Each structure stands twice: as structure tokens, then as C-alpha cells.
Structure 1
Amino acid sequence: MAEQELFNVRSKFVEKASKELINQLLDDILGDRIVNVGEKDSIIEENQSKADRARCLIDTVRNKGNDASRKLIAHIQIRDPALYSTLGLSSGQPAPPETPVEQKWSETVIKTTEEFWIEKQKDKDVYPAAKSSIRNRVALLITNIKFTDKKWNRSGAETDEKNMEKLLTCLGYEVVKHTNLTGKAIDDSIIKFSKLPKLKETDSVAVVIMSHGKQDVVIGVNHTETSSDEFPINNIYTHLGSKECPALLDKPKIIIIQACRGGEEGSVLVIDSANSALDCDDVNQPGSFLFAGGENIEDDALRLAHKEKDFISLLSCTPDTVSYRHTCSGSLVIQFVVKVFNTFACENDIEELFRKVLQSFEAFPLQMPTKDRCTLLKRFYFFPGI
């Protein structure tokens, strides 16, 4: 199929297509009504570099279907016959049906090329990532596995902890790891993390918290049916925000939380057992909504900055719903995060990586992760291996 043919030549097209050709092709697909004026302008305005514009062009057309892809191939043949030949494209006529290509996931993190890193360092819409700052990356990993009340123990969470530590390390982060913390200890560990001298040298931080949860809180290991032990998620944004942690000003802060966010539709805590391979991280308690509210901004510095900026968060489910964990292979979200990051972190920014994680759940309608509180002003790339 034509869209598969475009996918197969995508990397080479991005490398070799000139800016003039890309603009001509945008005019062509506008004339064919493959895209409208708004979509064309969006491709141009949101992608300043030639490479990003080429990627967006080819992906947009591929997503429009086989007919649109055939028309683009035909336009490439007319506009640049030499490139058409180099890419090895067909005439754009309907091809025999092909067997869909199943996504092949990488078992290890694919490294970024030096050329890709150099190109992105020239892009003003990309967060800077000097080699020295990449080597000073640091991440916080908190995993609650065993609870005071043993019926709350999270089987499979050991696998999540192992897989996330490996992934973060491969992405260049020194991992500060904690296991089985109370709500207060989670709070204290984030405060301590925010004071690390290394934060002054890093280009970014990652914070991963995995436990039981409910709306707006993560559950500590001493939580019982009669005694609450909670950590308000909002504290992450306070402790690592511009006011409390100036060392991270203008630096991306990536938050991943694997925990349920409630269970209003009758969801209850599912106790791990030999009869159930899937478990959930829901704590069905009366609503306890914790927000940081009404704080007055006090800032006598010469420069003002919003108290919460340069964050992006991935929560394992939508509000009031549960998230699932396999009792052997770990949480579904963490499994997909590892697969997606291993395969695509070499060339995708963090928002696209999170989108791919969400897309992975199309075949699993019981759960849908969500991006939350995104205040990134630019694109952030991990550049693994640089």
C-alpha cells in the first residue's frame, strides 16, 4: 500500500528532501484537498526545521490514507524525479494488498545519531541538551511494593522497578531509588531530591512514582482501611517548581505516575491471587481531594517565572478510574513506556513518546493513560547515547 511505501522511505525522505520541495509538495496536497489551509499552516508554523517539516508532511499524508499517499508519491515523481528514483518509489498506482507490518519493539534503547543531536541543538524550539548536561542527568524512582497490610502488596511491581531503573539509566539518568515509602517519606524524598547539587548541571529530571492511589494522591505503605497514609501529587509540582527549586528553572521535568485515580463506578481493591493475572492499583476510599490552593506569589527576584513551568506528566489512567498491573510482568503503562521509549526515544520528543504510549492502549479499552499538566514551552529530546 502507498502509505506503507511512504513509511518505508520516511527516513531517507526526511534526510534528502529540500525545503523548496517540501513547500511545493505542501501546495500540491492543499490543491488536492488532502489538507486544508489550517493543516498546511500548522505543518509550517509548528515545524521550523526542514527535517521536522518533512516528517510532519509525510506522516500527515500517510494518516490520510492510501489515496492521499499515492497522490503525494505522484507529486514527488513530478517535482523531483531524481529523489523519486533515489527513494525507489513506485509509480503511485494502486499496489497489491500487503500484509500489515506488525510494530517491532526494541528490547534496548536505540541510540541517537550525532547528526540528529547536532541538528536539534540548532533548533530554537528544542530544549538545549549539551553533552555535559546530559551526563549530569538525575532521576527519582519510588516504588511501593510491600504494605503494612499485606493484602495491599503489589505483585509484579518488582518488575516495574527493575524495568524503569534500566530504562532511566539507558536514557542517561543517575537513578535515586527508594522502595516502600510512607506518604510523608515520599514527600521528604522529593524535597531532598530537589536540593541535589547535580540539578544545577542537568538538562532535565525524571520522577517516577509507582504505588496504589486514588484521585490526586499516591498511597503510602502504612495505609489501611482505618488509617490514611497519603502523598498529595500536587506536592511534586510545588517542590520541583520555579520557586522551591530554582536549579530546575527552564529545565524539563518529566513525571510518570503509575497509580489508580479512584474507582467511582464501583471499583474496589482487587487483591492479588493465583486466580487473577491482572490487578489494579485502586484504593476505594471516600473522596479526599487534595489541592495546593491560594498560595500568594512572593518573588523579589529580578526575573519572574511562573511557579509551575516546563513540566510534563503521564498518569496511568484518567480521573476516577483504575489502572492495571500484571502480577508477573508488571504494570501495563510501564510495559508500554519501556517499549515505546526503547524504540522511539532516539528520534521522538517526549510529547510524541507519550502519545505513542496512549496509542498503545487502543486495543485495551479498560484503561487509558493521560498526559497531564503539560507546561513544556519547547520540545524535549532524550538523545540516548550522546
Structure 2
Amino acid sequence: MTTCLANVLEDIPDQHQKKYPGKLPLLDFFAGSGLVSYALSRYFDLVWSNDVCPKKADVFRTNYPDKPFKLASIAGISGDDVPAAALSWASFPCQDLSLAGPAKGIRASRSGLVWEWLRVMDTMKQKPPLVVAENVIGLLSTHEGRHYAELHNALMSRGYRVGAIVLDAIHFVPQSRPRVFVIGVDVHAPRLREFESNGPNWLHPLAVIRAAAGVESFVWWNMPQPRNRAQNLSDIVDLTIPCHDAARSKKNLALIPLNHLLRLNECGLNVVPGYKRIRQGRQVLELRFDDVAGCLRTPGGGSSKQFLVIRCGSQWRTRLLTPREAAKLMGAPRGFILPTSANDAYRAMGDAVAVPVARYLAKSLLSKIAAVSYGHP
């Protein structure tokens, strides 16, 4: 079935169309610092958002003072308080699904808040025809895909056709940050066959394929591959920022494993990123040599902050990645206002979705599906 986008836009409910001409309404659950809302703003207009963290709420409201934001636990939100929308997005907490943690699962206290998201939509007067749940790769891989299967089946039981994809920020910015996007569309909405394939494609690494094998009616979403990114880490690091002094740099450099130290002196790079980790009972500073940053984290532990090893003449010095550099790695807009506290700024970025990833997903897939599903009988 072929549908003209212009005709669909004409069918958007009049009240919303008068306020937001040409765009579709968006709900942003677990909105954090607002990078998803910003990324999707070219194609969707935010009509409601929420988060429980006051510090993230401050970042959101500082950068988007005219956008609706409700500071509250999702557990206390009723569907009666949420307006109708074309897309409901939920970047629900990842702590219980992360491979770096105990992986308590999708029924645990934090990651289990995804069920509150579903409860809210169950009680809305009009169910959003398009939903996206975003999380870490552990959603697919922990406990042999059981957690993904629970979410997949829960969405199917609510009348959605469901599939998952993996998008890595490395396609757009010099940061390795793969994330899972579970996408569901109303079963009654017209199907756009060009956005589905008959089996795995570039969006479906092995973790997706294995998870798909454990569920029924998996949708293999498809969209064009992005162009190669334009920048490497070396292009965004500010070399005018002072490094640690010689003594502190020497202490950090002493933590580099011998094989990494040999590569450091031969790699030809001027900037090399790394994380401190515990290996065989001792702390080490592990580096990567592809001119790409490791996945940004929240500042919750001793190994959470990313280090830079920088060539200074004939010597190497160290320093931490700055909050502003972290913002660049997330694709945040140039004028994005960060908290004055470095830890709060790291948290605002490390717990977010990279802007160009969400924007590409909206441009290449979500906006097309939403256009034919919103307001459809």
C-alpha cells in the first residue's frame, strides 16, 4: 500500500496541526537532559516529557525552557495526564541490563520501570501507534534473550508489530556506543514494505538474530546505511586544555599494560583514549588505538571517567576527557548548556542517547512510519 506523506499530514488532528504544522506529536519518557527530544525535533514536536532526576530536569529546562517537562517518578503518572501522540519514546534505565553490572534483569527495580511506561500507555485515552524503547545491548544478550522476549511479547500483546535494531554512534561521531532500539507499530497501521526486510540486514548483529529466534513475528526493520562519519577523536579534542602535571601523568602512564604501551609509542596518534579497569586484581589503564572514544559512562565509579593520553612533544601526558568534549561525542548542539559541576555534566551526557543516532532513526524510519500510522482508523 502506498501512502502520500502530504495527505497523511492533512489528516493529523486539527488541534495539533494548528500548533505544530507539518510535525507529529512526541512523548519522551525518561527524557533525561533532553537530547532525544532535541534530536527528534526536526520531525516531531514534544508535547510531554518526564524524568525523576532533578539534576537532569535542570539541564532539560535550562536548554529547552519552552518545552513541556514533568519532574516526577513514572510510577505516579497516569495515562489520563498524557496527551495523544504519534510516537512514545522510552529510554528506560539500563542498570539492571548492563553487561558491566550484576544484570538483575528487566523485572528489577530500575530497568523494571519499563513496565510503568507500558502501564501509562495502557491507561491513555488513545494509544500511541508508534513506540520506541531504547537500552543497552544487554537487553538482547543477558539471560539468553529472555528479557528482550518479555518486552517483545508485552508489546505484541498490546497490538504492536515489533522488532529490534542496533545502531552504534560510531557511524556518526567518534564514540563506540551501540544501543538497542525496540520499535513497535500498531498492527492496524498501513505497512511500508520498503522499511522491512525478509531477514537480518546491517541493523541486526548476532545479538539481535539470537534474540529474534526466541520470539514470534519479529519485524526486521530496515533503512539506508549512513555515510561514513567526518571526524575522528583527534579532531574534537581541545589540545589547549592543560594536561596533568608530570608526576600525575607518570602515575597514570604506569598503569598502561606493556602491550598497550608498546602500541602507544608506535601508533602515530597524538590522542589516545582509555579507561581504568581492574584486571587480575590490579588497576590498569587500557587504551584503544582507532581514534575513537570508548562508550561514555555516568560518573558512578572509579573506572567511569575516560582518560586521554596526549602526545606533548617527545612525552606523553594524561588528563580526563572534559564535559564539553563529552558533549561533542554525544552530538549535542554547540550551544548546549552543561551543568557547572563536572560530575553532573558527565552524567547528563553519559546517560543519554547520541543526537545523530536518534536523528537518523527519526529521519530514515520513524517519521515515515509515524506519518502513516498516526490518525489511521
> Which TM-score tier does this pair reach, normalised by the shorter chain?
under 0.3
What's the TM-score once normalised by structure 2's chain length? Answer: 0.25
Greater strand proportion: 2
What's the TM-score once normalised by structure 1's chain length? Answer: 0.25
The structure with the largest alpha-carbon Rg is 1
